[in-house]
Amino acid sequence: EPVLTDPRVLHLIDGLRASHLSGLEGARISASIPVSERLLNELASAFVPAEAPVREVSVHPRAGNRLGVRARVARAAFLPPVTINLEIERQAILPDSPLVVRILTAPGLVSLLGVAFPLAAMLPPGIILQDQRLLVDVRALLERQGYGELLPYLESIRVTTEPGRLLVDVALHVRARDGDAAGSLHRPAGGGEDRRDEGDV
């Protein structure tokens, strides 16, 4: 059985999250998380509301930080699927600057498709459509997925693509609490200062 599915390990992880990572003060954690196209499409299916005017939504990562989003209009099954091409234009700068994804499809075509393929209606909370760009609020998405308690420790997040998968690089820093840091600076090591004072009498 994989370690991360062991109930004891899951209980430990839940405890760390509940205690705001107490016991890991000072830790720096860097991780590169590959998200396969299959998993990405499972997530996309979960994000798109059941009442959305599209169906069969799929996301296809490509080289050069580009993706293709393919979907079929629900009420016009006779129409072929529509593909919108996207490019990651700017990485998120935490805490408030969003990830910016540019729509490469010609503006006139996006406007023409808007009636039958309302992209804005497909977007979950935390992602908004502004002109030819999607603005992705990383903070809102993490909070929506139940990871809001990790936000104070998240230093950076970078999203890139390669054929068939998305790559998410994250860096976290669990800073010592002020009280703990102060205590560690002023606490005598083994009571050495007290013994020195007694010896100097």
Assign 192 a pLDDT band (cuts: 50, 70, 90).
very low
Kindly state the tokens that stand for 46: 């979960």
pTM score of the predicted model = 0.71
Assign 116 a pLDDT band (cuts: 50, 70, 90).
low
Identify the CA nearest to 43 among candidates 31, 65, 61.
61
Rounded Cα gap, residues 199 and 45, in angstroms: 73
Please tell me the number of Cα atoms within 13 Å of 171 on its side-chain side. Answer: 6
Identify the CA nearest to 121 among candidates 194, 55, 193, 29.
55
- Residue 35's pLDDT is what? 93
Domain residue ranges of the chain, discontinuous segments joined by +: 24-176
To the nearest 5 percent, what fractions of the chain are helix, strand and coil?
A: 35, 35, 30
Rounded Cα gap, residues 8 and 169, in angstroms: 27
Residue 152 in this model has a pLDDT that exceeds 50: yes
Rounded Cα gap, residues 62 and 196, in angstroms: 67
The pLDDT of 65-92, averaged and rounded, is: 85
Q: Of 7-11, 45-49, 77-81, 113-117, give the lowest mean pLDDT range.
A: 113-117
Contact at 8 Å (CB) between 25 and 180? Answer: yes
- Residue 178's pLDDT is what? 57
DSSP letters, 125-185, are: TTEEEETTEEEE-HHHHHHHTT-GGGGGGEEEEEEEEETTEEEEEEEEE-PPPHHHHHHHH
Give pLDDT tens digits for 12-41.
Answer: 667 777 777 777 888 898 999 999 999 999
- Residue 73's pLDDT is what? 72
- 61 or 127: whose pLDDT is higher? 61
Cα of 85 vs its chain's centroid, Å:
21
Residue 199 in this model has a pLDDT that exceeds 70: no
Residue 162 in this model has a pLDDT that exceeds 70: yes
SS3 state at 66: strand
